[in-house]
Amino acid sequence: MILLVDIGNTRVKWATQVDGRLSPQRAAGYAQWSAVDWQRELFDGPPVERVLAATVAGGDSRRALEVAARQAGTPHVDFVASTAVLAGVRNAYPDPGLLGVDRWVALIGAFHRAHGACCVVDVGTAATLDAVDASGQHLGGFIVPGPRLMVRSLHAGTSNLAAFTAASPAGGTHLFADNTRDAIERGCRVALAALVDRTCEELARRTHSAPRVYLHRWGGGRMLPYVLATYERVPDLVLRGLARIVDASLER
């Protein structure tokens, strides 16, 4: 059994791969975890032969996973790095290591799910969009503030919008807002949704295709009603990418 682990800044997601089949994703916040907690939560099934992980977090969680693996009888954890080429996908960055490993592995998962051109959207504190063509060439992407960070930046960077927001009533139902709270919050969601649609249009123009759009995370879902492109939610896209990396290593 192979354990696949996606360590974010506050949450860890994991799944197992047995005979090429991926189990359902599990997830939890790990802020207060010790190595004992990592072992109890992630290594609670049959013996793990191999651990493959992608992490954007600091060294503490990485070391805790390594200790937990050793205690569970798995002597080594392999951590994926962003490289020039991996599992059939080619990195657009001149310095491949500067592409976040979560974006890189999600792209690999998306490309092999789409079997063609696709766009990956990840909306958290920051929002990232990445495009790949039908040959597996990563075309690059965008990083912008997520909706909540957009709102906070407007409140922090202006003299009276925060006060006007506090005095505004609960949100209405029309697209065009009639109060400050909705004008800011809905405007930020529409702006991000428009970026998703614009990215998809450009990818379709470049590839002469109808690219698939995958939403990895979606910031609570409030931007989704404003996205015009057809999309699919795939919350375990990084784990799917890790599974594909395992498959590629076995094919060599």
**DSSP annotation string for 117-129:** -EEEEEESSEEEE
Q: Measured between alpha carbons, how far is residue 234 from residues 153, 161, 214, 230 in Å?
A: 29, 36, 6, 13
Query: Is 2 in a helix, a strand, or coil?
Result: strand
Q: Catalytic site residue 102?
A: yes
DSSP secondary-structure letter at 219? G
Give the C-alpha separation, 20 to 243, whole Å: 8
Q: Measured between alpha carbons, how far is residue 244 from residues 86, 108, 133, 251 in Å?
A: 10, 7, 18, 10
Catalytic residue among 37, 78, 95, 102: 102
- What is the token pair recorded at 224? 């989704």
Give the C-alpha separation, 116 to 98, whole Å: 25
Give the C-alpha separation, 91 to 72, whole Å: 35
Give the C-alpha separation, 25 to 85, whole Å: 26
Residues serving a catalytic function are 102
